[in-house]
Amino acid sequence: MTVAEMHEYFDLLTDKVGDPYFLETEKDTFLTNAALQFIRDYLLPRTQGVSNFEFDQLSYSNVDTLVFETASLGLPGDGKISNATIQTALNTASGSTEPYMFLVNASYINGGQTVPIKYARQNEWYMTETNVFKKGTTSQPRYKQDGVNVTITPSPSGTSVKFTLIKQPKTITLSPPVNCDLPAETHKKVVEMAVELASISLRDIDLYQTNAKNTD
């Protein structure tokens, strides 16, 4: 659907009960928030930590337009790559500037070998790194995330890293027209979710229930 078609479908669904009225910008907000929620609903139940989760083909096809792999980034000696650096790499890969929502996986490149990096939970990081049997190695590196950096261990000289990321969908607007950049087959569901958000803002249980019947 184009953004105009999404607005038309939104109007069709909301006109089924009463005569709710929303500004174009309000509909844009509902649609954008619904697109964000669609991604969260699909991915959060399937994640293990934030890395190395396995997409099944159906799930992947519902988000694949938002998945990008960065170019290789040099790994500093302290193993820390800032979120800002990762975001810049994503901007280059995607040709846009939306922030990344999920780090799907990271790959370690050392001596021509590409090795997946295993996610380590923050609360286990130091316990793992002080255990000689569990700490990261060049054949089984590990990473953790915080609000500033992704930290990878070990980080020998000459190592580089690349990330696979899911970026946030574009803000949907009717004027100027910016279409939803989720795959086309998800657009109907996104509009229906937007109507559910609208029904909450109206405190309109009839609209919510009518829309829920339409989407069953």
At residue 206, what is the residue type? D
Residue 69 belongs to what domain range?
Answer: 57-167
Asked if residue 157 and residue 101 are part of one domain, the reply reads yes
Tokens linked to 159 = 């190592």
**Residue 203: per-residue pLDDT:** 61
For residue 52, tell me if it sits in a domain. Answer: no
For residue 206, tell me if it sits in a domain. Answer: yes
Beta strand 113-119 with 142-145: parallel, antiparallel or unpaired?
A: parallel
Asked if residue 137 and residue 105 are part of one domain, the reply reads yes
Asked if residue 162 and residue 85 are part of one domain, the reply reads yes
Kindly list the distances between the CA atom of residue 124 and the CA atoms of 83, 119, 134, 197, in Å, as whole numbers in the listed order: 21, 11, 11, 38
Residue 184 C-alpha from the chain's centroid: 17
Asked if residue 184 and residue 146 are part of one domain, the reply reads no
**Residue 157: per-residue pLDDT:** 87
pLDDT one-digit tens code per residue, 165-214: 999 999 999 999 999 999 999 999 999 999 999 888 676 555 555 555 55
* φ and ψ of 86, to 5 deg: -65, -40
Q: What is the DSSP string of 8-69?
A: HHHHHHHTTSS-----HHHHHHHHHHHHHHHHHHHHGGG-STTSSPPPPHHHHHTTGGGEEE
Q: pTM above 0.85?
A: no
**Residue 51: per-residue pLDDT:** 33
Asked if residue 163 and residue 178 are part of one domain, the reply reads no
Asked if residue 34 and residue 15 are part of one domain, the reply reads yes
Tokens linked to 79 = 């193993």
* φ and ψ of 207, to 5 deg: -65, -45
- With tokens 């309000």, the residue in question is 26
Asked if residue 71 and residue 27 are part of one domain, the reply reads no
d(CA 96, CA 92): 7
**Residue 58: per-residue pLDDT:** 64
For residue 194, tell me if it sits in a domain. Answer: yes
Total number of domains in the chain: 2
Asked if residue 160 and residue 176 are part of one domain, the reply reads no
The tens place of each residue's pLDDT in the chain, 216 residues long, gives 999 999 999 999 887 555 667 899 999 999 999 999 998 887 765 444 443 345 566 667 888 999 999 999 999 999 999 999 999 999 999 999 999 998 988 999 887 889 999 988 888 888 888 888 888 898 899 999 999 999 999 998 889 999 999 999 999 999 999 999 999 999 999 999 999 998 886 765 555 555 555 555
Asked if residue 162 and residue 69 are part of one domain, the reply reads yes
